[in-house]
Amino acid sequence: MTETARIGVIDSGVGGLTFVREILALCPGADIIYFGDSANCPYGNQTRERILELTFKALSFLQQSHIHVGVIACNTISTLIDTLQSNSDIPLFSVVSPAAEAVACSGVKRVGILGTEFTIAVGTYQKLIRAINPDIELLCQGSLHLAALVDQGAPEQDVEREIVSRFGPLLEHNPPPESVILGCTHYPIVKDFFVRRYPHIEFLDPAVELAKVLTRWLEQQGLETKGQGSLKIYTSGALDVYQRILEKLKIPAPQVLEHKIP
Ligand code: DGL
pLDDT tens track for 41-71:
999 999 999 999 999 999 999 999 999 999 9
Q: How far is the CA of 3 from the centre of ligand 1 (A)?
A: 32
pLDDT at 13: 97
Angle at 125 between CA 159 and CA 100, to 5 degrees: 100
Predicted confidence at residue 1, as pLDDT, reads 77
Q: Are residues 195 and 223 in the same domain?
A: no
Tell me, yes or no, whether 90 and 158 share the same domain: no
Which ligand 1 atom is the nearest neighbour of the CA of 76?
10
| Residues 112 and 196 grouped into a single domain | yes
64 and 88 assigned to the same domain: yes
Would strands 69-72 and 92-94 be described as parallel, antiparallel, or unpaired?
Answer: parallel
Residue 102 to residue 16: CA distance in whole angstroms: 20
Q: Any residues with Cβ below 6 Å from ligand 1, and which?
A: 11-13, 15, 41-44, 74-76, 115-116, 119, 147, 184-186
Could you tell me if 101 and 44 lie in one domain? no
Q: What is the pLDDT of residue 88?
A: 97
Residue 155 maps to a domain: yes
Catalytic residues: 74, 184
Q: Is the same domain home to 24 and 87?
A: yes
Query: Do 216 and 134 reside in the same domain of the chain?
Result: no
Please report the pLDDT score of residue 149 as a whole number.
96
Q: Does any domain span residue 73? A: yes
Do 159 and 224 have their domain in common? no
Q: What percent of the chain has pLDDT over 70?
A: 100
End-to-end CA distance of the chain: 32
Q: Hey, whose CA ends up nearest to atom 7 of ligand 1?
A: 42
Counted domains in the chain: 2
| Whether residue 212 sits in one domain with residue 172 | no
Give residue 150's domain range: 97-205
C-alpha distance from residue 240 to each of 6, 61, 184, 253 (Å): 26, 22, 21, 13
CA atoms within 13 A on the CB side of 40: 24
- The pLDDT of residue 158 is 96
- Contact, 205 vs 20, CB < 8 A? no
Can you give the C-alpha Rg of the chain in angstroms? 17
Give, to the nearest 10 degrees, the angle between helix 96-104 and helix 206-220.
110
Q: Which of the residues in the chain have pLDDT under 70? A: none
Q: What count of other Cβ atoms lies within 10 Å of the Cβ of residue 57? A: 15
* Predicted local distance difference test score (pLDDT) of residue 55: 98
Q: Which letter does DSSP use for residue 224 in this model? A: B
